[in-house]
Structure 1
């Protein structure tokens, strides 16, 4: 009790500007620290900057958590793949030029090939009053022709020798090209008489149904392969 009393007196005297010597060393060790006093002119400018309600402490679990997650980027097509797909979509064959079987009651005998250049169809007459119909590409304006011929030769993956007139019209064409997928004559060729014209495949299937050739009759490779197995040398060909 005596120590507490002396400590309280020391605090009271300290606030009044007086000092008192401690009774012993332990009295300062266990005495409570004096209160901190701040002048109002020092704290008012700070208190005025704090608006009511500007601070809010939320429970730790209630605070929104921000997490980062790496999202794998969506696969992007290369420019070449995009262009190739666009070309494929634009240059696809019209479905009406795909092979089909139709009725036929005309004057030509079974086994005859009829090419209707206006319709862009080739017909192979069957024995049962029907005909197999294929879509074809034909000669562009200025290269149309009509007539009757026979198949005088058949060739698989034929080589190509562009005529001199064609090479003159289209500089850069080779004088000779071996047969193969890149050859303009495609997978099969049926040669017509002594003419320069052929019924042949094409590495440009989107040209079927169009007038783009120099007079030859173009077919899809799979279609000319089918036709090739159904006709023989000597077959009559009528182009109208």
Structure 2
């Protein structure tokens, strides 16, 4: 189990037990790290996942509104989505890939002509970050998973966005598992960057069918090329 998942499990347990309620503030990073015996980056990653799933809202600074606040009713379906997130490490990679193809091809088809220029620009910023020279492979894969979650959110369907956010770790996990099977990373990274750009361009141009075709080829192509298929 990844260390940030320990934090997620604790938050989920506190929600279920009523120790955390709507409007409550999570302890600070330092306090949570000390309580659970994990690193502060692990706490930060867990909070980022919780925020992406709509369980908490965060605000920076040191004032009374700073930190992470519970904004989802503990009895809401979002807690089930959190459990789905924690269970994804046990899912077969082939099933994850199939689910991604179904969700993301539908999402980009719906997003075409619907996504605003600002939303497209926000997704493009993740691609810009992936273009950074000498970007560590681990960072590339994290941004890759983040981009696909952002891409799915462009459709405007809250449930699809939540499911994709809960699959984020599974996406990152199987990509990391595939990495050692890729002998020459540089041309593969170049190809993935180009494919990401093409999918986003099709969405921005309002060509949903092309976007759906490209994203399916992109997901399945990497899976097969990494010899996981």
What TM bracket, shorter-length normalisation? under 0.3
* Structure holding more helix per residue: 2
Q: Which has the higher strand share?
A: 1
Higher relative contact order (CA 8 A, sep 6+): 2
When normalised by structure 2's length, the TM-score is: 0.24
